Each structure stands twice: as structure tokens, then as C-alpha cells.
């Protein structure tokens, strides 16, 4: 009968660099979630969507379609990437 020793995983400690990287990623994810929520609030607020697109298109020099595409994409960031 052979007696094999079972290797146990030793928990590895997080290095300073790994900790900074993890914190940076968490910060970016948090900022993206806040941005997505803010855009959703803006799009579902009292100002009509169409009026919002017209105002932003006029002030940015972009087309209304481009403005709409960007805002809809920003609104979906949280759902698409963080959940």
C-alpha cells in the first residue's frame, strides 16, 4: 500500500502590483457602472429623448444618429460588461 501525500494549495499572497492592478480594475468597473446609470437616468428623465439627441448633436457637431448610438451604448455598458 503506497502512501501518497496530497499536495495542498498554499494560498498565495497578493503582491503590491497585483493589488494596485486589482484596485484599478475595480475602480474602472465602478466608474463605468456609474456612467451607465447616469446616462440611463438622463435618457429616462423628463427631457424627451429626441430633444436630448438634438441638443447634444447641435452642441457637439455630431449627427443625431451618432449621439443616439453613443448614449445607448453607454446606457448598456453596465448590463453588457459588468453583470
Q: How many distinct structural domains can be found in the chain? A: 1
The whole-number pLDDT of residue 44 equals 92
Q: Which three cell numbers stand for residue 43?
A: 435618457
Q: Measured between alpha carbons, how far is 19 from 35 in angstroms, rounded to an integer?
A: 24
Whether residue 70 is contained in a domain is answered as yes
Report yes or no on 37 lying in a domain: yes
Q: What pLDDT tens digit does each residue of the chain (83 aa) get?
A: 566 667 777 778 889 999 999 999 999 999 999 999 999 999 999 889 899 999 999 999 999 999 999 999 999 988 888 87
Q: Return d(Cα 52, Cα 44) in angstroms, integer.
A: 11
Domain of 74, in residue numbers: 19-82
Give 63's Cβ-side CA count (13 Å radius). Answer: 3
Amino acid at each position: 500500500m503506497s502512501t501518497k501525500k496530497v499536495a495542498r494549495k498554499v494560498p498565495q499572497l497578493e503582491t503590491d502590483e497585483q493589488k494596485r492592478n486589482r484596485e484599478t480594475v475595480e475602480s474602472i468597473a465602478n466608474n463605468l457602472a456609474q456612467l451607465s446609470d447616469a446616462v440611463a437616468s438622463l435618457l429616462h428623465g423628463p427631457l424627451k429623448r429626441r430633444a436630448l439627441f438634438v441638443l447634444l448633436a447641435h452642441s457637439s457637431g455630431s449627427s443625431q444618429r451618432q449621439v443616439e448610438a453613443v448614449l445607448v451604448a453607454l446606457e448598456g455598458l453596465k448590463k453588457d460588461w459588468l453583470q
